[in-house]
Amino acid sequence: MMATFRKGFCKSGNQPFSRAAISRRHPAEAANLADFAILLFAFSLLLGCYEPKEGCLDINATNYAVDADDACPDCCTYPTLTISPLHQVLVKNTLDSFINFKYNTFYPAPSSDVDTFEVLRSRFFISNFKLVNTDGEEVGVADTIGIGFINGSRVVYEDNFAKLDRDIFSANVIGTTVTEGTFDKVKFTLGLPEALLQLDTASIPAGHPLYYRTDTLIYEEGIGYIPFLLSFKTDTSSLVEPTAVQFFQPTDILLPLEKPLLIKRGFNIKVRLRINYIAWFEGVDFSSDPVETIRQKMAANLPNAFSVTEITLE
């Protein structure tokens, strides 16, 4: 019969040998039995004092507890996919070294030896961010959001959005992801799905990247969301009006990794995404190109500004 013990209560159970019974045996045999009895007694004490440990028993979780005996209720935390942006510029004649990008700072135009420009503001969305494995399978996030529309309909989307700006310093946690395997690309959309440009803004909770009431740069009454905004000037004179470029059409971007990355279960995934702001102006002639031509050239250059510098597992 198996003995049961109360938690935290030590109980040795019945001793299988009495001192008198041992003493009547041959001295060597008695010594062996005595040692066995002591070991059995110590083992029963160990069993009686043991307290089962609760912990997360899901190997996919970041807090998986290999030494836990019992599963804890709702204690598991799962890996997140995070974008950590690097806002930089690669200035020509600087030995191919990137420097941190700043607003209201003049940089040499990439296609001219005399023109300079400054960016006054840039704010844009990234959506549908995916890791792509070597088999071509795409992995996003498990989170979803129900989005309402003006016509009264409601659609559930993968909650996979980030808002980037040089003045937004925090990393963007996209959502929860559980995956493993070897990955060699990342994929995302610069901008928003066109269907979301006219959504019912009341359906977006505060704190979400699409929440606009505290951000006048990403939403304009009568137009809706502005997925990409960049305002710049090409003259040092304060009398020159800045040029504002807006893009509403989403652009799909696929970026190869420098080398394949093995991702294991139970680790947070952080992607360092570099934005080279000067790349958007490649081929632009500020002295002669009209605004529409500049806009068209920038649209063609949009994917060229992005690269993945590092992916870390934490």
Q: What is the pLDDT of residue 138?
A: 98
Residue 306 exposure: Cα atoms within 13 Å on the Cβ side:
25
* CA–CA separation, 78 and 64 (whole Å): 9
Single out the residue of 61, 116, 66 nearest to residue 267, CA to CA: 61
Q: 108: which 2 tokens?
A: 């040499």
Q: Report how far Cα 144 is from the mean position of its chain's Cα atoms.
A: 15
User: What residue type is 268 in one-letter code?
Assistant: N
Degrees to nearest 5, angle at CA 22 with 42 and 39:
15
| Strand ranges, E, within 15-166 | 54-55, 70-71, 80-90, 98-100, 107-108, 116-133, 138-139, 144-148, 154-158, 161-165
Q: What is the pLDDT of residue 272?
A: 97
Q: 283: which 2 tokens?
A: 């081929």
Give the three-class secondary structure for 69: coil
Helix (H) or strand (E) holding 19: helix 19-23
Helix (H) or strand (E) holding 229: strand 228-233
Residue 278 to residues 84, 89, 196, Cα–Cα distance (Å)? 19, 6, 29
Instruction: Encode the chain (314 residues) as per-residue pLDDT tens digits.
Output: 333 333 343 444 444 444 444 444 555 555 566 666 666 665 565 555 667 888 999 999 999 998 988 888 889 999 999 999 999 999 877 667 899 999 999 999 998 888 899 999 999 999 999 999 999 999 999 999 999 998 899 999 999 999 999 998 889 999 999 999 999 999 999 999 999 988 999 999 999 999 988 788 999 888 889 999 999 998 766 668 899 999 999 999 999 999 999 999 999 999 999 999 999 999 999 989 999 999 999 999 999 999 999 999 99
User: What residue type is 183 in one-letter code?
Assistant: F
Classify residue 195 by its DSSP letter: G
Classify residue 25 by its DSSP letter: S
Residue 49 exposure: Cα atoms within 13 Å on the Cβ side:
6
Q: What is the pLDDT of residue 15?
A: 45
C-beta of residue 173 within 8 angstroms of C-beta of residue 181: no
